[in-house]
Amino acid sequence: MLVNSVEMKLEETCNIKQFLESKNYNPLFVAVELNGEIVSKNKFEETNINDEDTLEIVSFVGGG
């Protein structure tokens, strides 16, 4: 799969929330695009990803 344009191997199918947490992202601070479609935050748990997917993760940091 491709994550932020970097190729990687997804060992087993999981949902977006699990994937984010495994990569140390806080699901509250991100916006996620799966195969070119933005995924609503309340669908992170019900949306599964597999090794063919393309994921773009934007993680926001505080300050303004």
CB of 37 to another protein, least distance (A): 9
Residues 4-63 that bind another protein (CB under 8 A): 26, 28-31, 33, 36, 38-41, 56, 58-63
In the bound state with another protein, the residue whose beta carbon lies nearer, of 13 and 31, is 31
Nearer to another protein, 24 or 62 (CB): 62
- Does residue 27 come out as left (phi exceeding 0), alpha (psi in the -120 to 50 range) or beta? alpha
Q: Which is nearer to another protein, 18 or 59 (CB)?
A: 59
Q: What pairs with residue 27 in β-bridges?
A: none
Rounded Cα distance between 47 and 64, Å, is 32
